[in-house]
Structures are given as structure tokens and as C-alpha cells.
A and B are shown apart, each in its own frame.
Chain A
Amino acid sequence: MSATEERRAAVTGIGVVAPNGISTETFWKSTQEGISVLDRVTREGCQDLPLKVAGEVRAFDPAVVEERFLVQTDRFTHFAMAAADLALEDARLGQADTAADPYSIGVVTASGSGGGEFGQRELQQLWGKGSRFVGPYQSIAWFYAASTGQISIRRGLKGPCSVVASDEAGGLDALAHAARAVRRGTDVMVAGSTEAPLAPYSVVCQLGYGELSGESDPARAYRPFTDAACGFVPAEGGAMLVVEAERSARERGAEVRAYVAGHAATFTGASRWEESREGLAQAVRNALAEAGCAPEEVDMVFADALGVPEADRAEALALVDALGDHGRRVPVTAPKTGIGRGYCAAPVLDVSAAVLAMEHGLIPPTPNVVDVCHDLDLVTGSARVAEPRTALVLSRGLMGSNSALVLRHGDR
């Protein structure tokens, strides 16, 4: 992103609410140790559905969000508020800082499933009792844009606010949108995605996806890039990041943890995984071009890792298409095999892990995966010691979107 130096988009805060940790520290500890937390679905009303394994955020304490927001918003927004608080705290931006110039801070989120649990409750009122029994907050709580709006209201952030609804890859698109807003003059963007698709209505919607894993053994349910690949496991939770103009960060003495250096998105059609090879490769090329980054400079790749043989093959080939021989040598990882795939939230958690990996000099492994059957260097077993300074994060959506994001290392 060829911005002037001082308006480069820097990551200055990370807030994670993930199945394997509801703080950035526990998330990273679990991620770098390759711990899998995939388990049988226990969310209310979901136990008897054909989906057996998921990544649930069991440690989440809703009390971190005020009661009025618990009543008025969906679980995906509760996650978003908690993650935004953690990210702003991590960036050392308190209420007094944001209140001093509220128009300089905006919010952008991506959402794939909206507020399914809230929506189901109100729709049951509608069909069970009648329209007069549907609560007014239904008019906003289940919409894709709910989390953006409620973070903005709750934290008093009055800068540009928007939602990206572009499929799972939208998680990366939201971060790119934030970087663009920063380059155009907004000092700070709170950006990312959280999802809560583990409610009965939402799960039933997903059952139609041919890519969804029906395996009931948590250790075998999500094993991309292997002969045993049988689809993906869904997850809830996500992450919010503080994306900030470098100048703003420097002026207030905040640490730059990474730079959002390049991004591109393409579209190749729903479940057309063979075609996604070309779409993904083009997204990578364009993202590298925007970042001014040569293929050989990519030190690690966070793969989309769908877990469908045709899609895995397309991704492995796309890496070679876009990076040449380097695509066979560069370390590739997919930590989401240990926590599940949280739709739009999945690539934002990958970006969080990528930043942490650059800071710690450690490429996290791909849990539950052994015997890789594609021509790529997938990090399995335990974390690999390295000095990654440039990360490439990939994401594809079931509806056909492909995105690539390039991160450069920060101060650490």
C-alpha cells in the first residue's frame, strides 16, 4: 500500500476472543503449542443436529459486557465488544484518549452469519405468538452491521464506520478497508470480525454446505492437506485489531506491532474450488504488488486450509502459481485446524497469529494434521523457530471470494 510513510497502516492493538483463549496471551500460548480445542458441540439446542464437532468459546464470560448490551445484542456482538475492548486496551487507547477526538476513530467489521441466536429467538416469538411479541431490538441485533454500530455507540467512536459483507474472506477485506481509511486520513480504525454461528438456526443453515465436516471425532474432523480431509469444522469467536496511522502511533509513543502492507481480493464463484486456484493466485500477486514485496520475501503463509481435497489442491497450486518455486519452500501453517473455522473471523485470527508469530520468531503448527499429501511445507507437530518478517494470510469463502493480505513486521 504505497502510502506516505507516516500514513502507513500499523497494527497497534490486538484483542482476541477465540475458542483456545479469551485473551491474546492465552490465544498465542495455545496456538504456538499446537493445542487443539475442537470438541463435541455443546451449545444449547445444537447437540442433536448432524454437526458434531465445533470450536466453541466456552471460557467467555458475558459479564464483561454491560447488561443492556447483553439484552439488546447477539452473542456475535458480545464477542466483538469484548475483543474491541481488549484491542483498544492493548493499543493503550482509553476512553479519555478516544473521547478527545471521537471523529478520528472509526470501526469496520466483517460478518458472515450475523446474529443468528438473537434472530432465532425473535422469529420463534413471531411464529409462536405473533408479530406483536417480537422485540424491537430484532430490527438491529441480527444484522451484519450490528457489531460495528454497537462498538461505535458503546465506545463513542464517531469516525467512518462500516461493515464488510463479502463472505469469509471479508475478514481480510475489513482489515484492508481499515488500512485504506487510515491512508485517507482517519487516525485509528478498530477493525476485525467475530462470529457466533453455533445456535440451532445458524447450524441448520450451515448443514447445506457440502464442505462442512460431519465427522464426530474431534481429532479427525478437520484435517486439510491430508488424504483424510473431510471438510471444515465451524467455530465461534474472533478478533478485533487496532489499525492506526503510523504517525499517530509514533506521536503517542505506541508500539507498531506490524504493518498492513498489501491486500487484494478476487471472486471465482460458490464452491468452485478448482477455479479458486486462479482467483487466489491473482489475489496473492496483487497483494504482493501493492506491498512492493517480492515472492521470495514471504517468510510464512497462513493458509485458508478448507479441508476439502479439491480446495486444498487448488490452494497448494495457487501458492506455486503466485510465488514460483518459493511456494513449495515457504513455511505454510493453518492454526485454525485446532480451533475451527470462524467464517469471517477465521482470517482475522490468522492475522493476529501472524503478527504474534513475527514478534515471537515462531511459526505455529497445524494441529491434528500429519502426512501432508500436497507439495507444500506445512508446519505440523510443533512450532518452528524462524525469523518471519513478512507474512501472507489467505482466505476463501464458501460463496467464492478469495483474499490475500500481506503483513510486514513491526518494532519487535
Chain B
Amino acid sequence: MNVQITEEELAALMKKAAGITVAPELLRKQPATPFETLGLDSLGLLGIVGELENRHGTPMPPDAERCKTPQAFLDLVNSALMAGA
């Protein structure tokens, strides 16, 4: 099964893990906006990585929690999920 994380899913994870509200549309149109600018701190991203690992039953790359932007994060986790599929 080839699962990919969408902007919708990332936005929902940001809301659940850190209480950050961001429109999926913004993540799509401006994917290079830093997480910091969106209000997501490193603990918040760590929580999202943990949630993804639990959901998909597979470890994410160590660098996932260090990604600075939604674009870098989605690229990394989606290629990891692709490789693991």
C-alpha cells in the first residue's frame, strides 16, 4: 500500500498535536513557510512524527523531526513511506 501524507493530514496533525490551526491550502500554496512562522515548535513536530509512526507502524527518518518547513517534512516522510511500502 502506497500511503502519502497530504497537506490536509499535516494540518490536522498540527491541530491535534500542538493546537496550531493552519489551512491546508496555505501549506499547499506556501510550502516553504517555516514551521516556526506557523507557530509549530520542535516539540510539536516531534509529536507529529510520533503520531505518524504510530499510525503507520513504521519509524520515520531521524531527520523528520528536524525539518524546518512543511515542504521538507512532507518530502522526507512521503519518500520514507514510499520506500517502506
A residues with a Cβ closer than 8 A to B are 66-72, 132-133, 135-137, 139-140
- CB distance B20 to A136 under 8 Å? no
- CB distance A136 to B54 under 8 Å? no
Q: Would you give 8 A-B contacts (Cβ < 8 Å), ordered by A? A: A67-B21, A132-B50, A132-B53, A136-B43, A136-B44, A136-B47, A136-B50, A139-B43
- CB distance A68 to B43 under 8 Å? no
Residues of the A chain whose Cβ atoms lie less than 8 Å from the Cβ of B19: 66-72
Q: How far does the alpha carbon of A71 sit from the alpha carbon of B47 in the complex, in Å?
A: 12
A135's partner among B21, B39, B47, B53 (CB-CB below 8 A) is B47
Q: How far does the alpha carbon of A279 sit from the alpha carbon of B53 in the complex, in Å?
A: 55
Whether B80 is near chain A, meaning CB under 8 Å from some CB there, is no
Residues of the A chain whose Cβ atoms lie less than 8 Å from the Cβ of B54: 132-133
Interface of B is mostly: helix
- CB distance B20 to A68 under 8 Å? yes
Residues of the B chain whose Cβ atoms lie less than 8 Å from the Cβ of A71: 17-19
Q: How far does the alpha carbon of A139 sit from the alpha carbon of B47 in the complex, in Å?
A: 11
Q: How far does the alpha carbon of A227 sit from the alpha carbon of B26 in the complex, in Å?
A: 66
Residues of the B chain whose Cβ atoms lie less than 8 Å from the Cβ of A140: 43
Shortest Cβ distance from A55 into chain B, in angstroms? Answer: 28
Q: How far does the alpha carbon of A139 sit from the alpha carbon of B46 in the complex, in Å?
A: 12
- CB distance A137 to B47 under 8 Å? yes
Q: Contacts A137-B43, A140-B43 known; A68 to B18 CB distance under 8 Å?
A: yes
9 further A-B contacts with Cβ under 8 Å, apart from A72-B18, A136-B44, are A67-B20, A70-B19, A72-B19, A132-B50, A133-B50, A135-B47, A135-B50, A137-B18, A137-B43
Residues of the A chain whose Cβ atoms lie less than 8 Å from the Cβ of B47: 135-137
- CB distance A136 to B39 under 8 Å? no
Shortest Cβ distance from A102 into chain B, in angstroms? Answer: 18
Interface residues of B in 18-34 (CB under 8 A from A): 18-21
- CB distance B17 to A135 under 8 Å? yes
Residues of the B chain whose Cβ atoms lie less than 8 Å from the Cβ of A68: 18-20, 39
Residues of the A chain whose Cβ atoms lie less than 8 Å from the Cβ of B46: 136
Residues of the B chain whose Cβ atoms lie less than 8 Å from the Cβ of A137: 18, 43-44, 47
